[in-house]
Amino acid sequence: MNEPRWPAADLDPVRRLRIMAASIPGAAYAEEVYARSVDEVWAVAGDLESEFPMLLVDVRSMRIAHADGEHLEAIAVGRLGQRARFDVVLRPGWCWMQSRFLHGGMAAAPEGDGTRVAFVGALRLPGMRLADPILRKLPLGGGVLRRLEARLQART
């Protein structure tokens, strides 16, 4: 008896993040291609304690409180002193974080001689579907990627 052949899709981290962003109401999403290797980009983007606060203007610090392989618990402190606990999945080219009120993620994948990088951030609040058409038009995620590019240039 022949087994049915189910379609399979193998998505790189950026495509996976793009799909997740499209499913989250009010998500700020941005993509950019850098003339850098994935390893160079991820050395900055995946450094949650040292570099991540440099990318997000409203985060003063982030500390890894617990790690179990790629599953982390992080504590973020905002510019105004607010605190949030995040459940994090961090692996090469992929970071997904969720707190009680926020979703966030970054991804990186090879593209030609460079690296395609993506960022998504969104509030987890009731009523975000109503604000979605307005929020999707705002270029909110681009600032994170501009700061990432500046941090990469500072390392050369």
Which domains, from first to last, does the chain contain?
A: 26-154 (3.30.530.20)
Is the CB of residue 13 less than 8 Å from the CB of residue 109? yes
pLDDT in tens, 56-100: 988 999 999 999 999 999 999 999 999 999 999 999 999 999 999
Average pLDDT over residues 101-122: 94
pLDDT at 126 exceeding the cut of 70: no
pLDDT at 151 exceeding the cut of 90: yes
Of the chain, the percentage scoring pLDDT greater than 90 comes to 67
pLDDT band of residue 114 (cuts 50, 70, 90) is very high
Residue 7: its pLDDT value, please? 78
Is the CB of residue 57 less than 8 Å from the CB of residue 153? no
Q: Report DSSP state, residue 18.
A: H
The number of CA neighbours under 13 Å toward the Cβ of 86 is: 26
Candidate from 7-16, 32-41, 68-77 with smallest mean pLDDT: 7-16
Average pLDDT, the chain: 88
pLDDT at 24 exceeding the cut of 60: yes
Residue 116: its pLDDT value, please? 97
Residue 46: its pLDDT value, please? 95
Higher-pLDDT residue of 35, 8: 35
Instruction: Specify the pTM.
Output: 0.85
Higher-pLDDT residue of 47, 8: 47
Residues 6+ apart with CB under 8 A from 93: 12, 13, 38, 42, 107, 108, 109
